[in-house]
Amino acid sequence: MPHEMQALIFDCDGVLVDTERDGHRVAFNRAFAAEGIGAEWTVERYGELLTTGGGKERMRRHFDETGWPVAPEERDGLIARLHRTKTDLFMDLIETGALPLRPGVARMVDAAQAAGLKVAVCSTSNERAVETVVRVLLGPGRAERITIFAGDVVPKKKPDPAIYTLAATTLGLTPAACVVVEDSHIGLRAAKTAGMNCVVTRSTYTHDEDFTGADRIVDHLDEGIDLGLCQALTQREDIECR
């Protein structure tokens, strides 16, 4: 059933900015060093860990696989402390402007806002980190009209569709009238399971992932993605892979 497009929804990391390799990974390693933990995530190791959604969850997986540096009763506190430190370090990196927006992001946000559509960001990353990315890289004028759903706002993270379902419910959206921009297989699964259309912009770590079911797959938004195409996706009679 065709729908008039209601919203353009972005993931954050790998979509708004290619943060994973030179942003989050670097911040995690600096947090480990600050805590005196002898762990360092290489580019390859971090790529493996990205199949797990959420930074705290990635640290738990890493220590489960390689050994914990603290006793079981201290693990929750360590993860919380590391994640706070990592978030502060990551935001410092963003504030410097060292990591630019990916091509086409500002253009698409401007087009959606000018058309009166809802614009949102749905991410498994820490809410403060996502807010900093949006504010610094998109600017306060755009940011004040973007709704952010991030971090632990839902109990299950991508590929679970909970964060997209929450966005639809909170903003009063019909899922099939939404277009999501994702960069990963788990993000695509989350968007599609929520009943939304999904455009994939492949990123450094996700370029070779399986994106079967995506409505469009490109390297970045400037490869033929515009608001007209997104509107056409929501207005199709037969939505593929719904």
* Residue 36 in tokens: 């005196």
- Evaluated on CA atoms 191, 192, 198, 201, the torsion sign reads positive
User: One of 13, 18, 160, 183 is an active-site residue; which one?
Assistant: 13
Per-residue exposure over 102-127, b if at least 16 CB sit within 10 Å of its own CB, e if not: bebbbebbebbbeeebbbbbbbbbbe
User: One of 11, 18, 160, 215 is an active-site residue; which one?
Assistant: 11
Q: Note if 22 is an active site residue.
A: no
| Distance (Å, whole) CA 94 – CA 71 | 34
Asked if residue 8 lies in contact with residue 230, where contact means CB atoms within 8 angstroms, the answer is: yes
Q: Note if 13 is an active site residue.
A: yes
| Distance (Å, whole) CA 69 – CA 218 | 41
Which residues are known catalytic residues? 11, 13
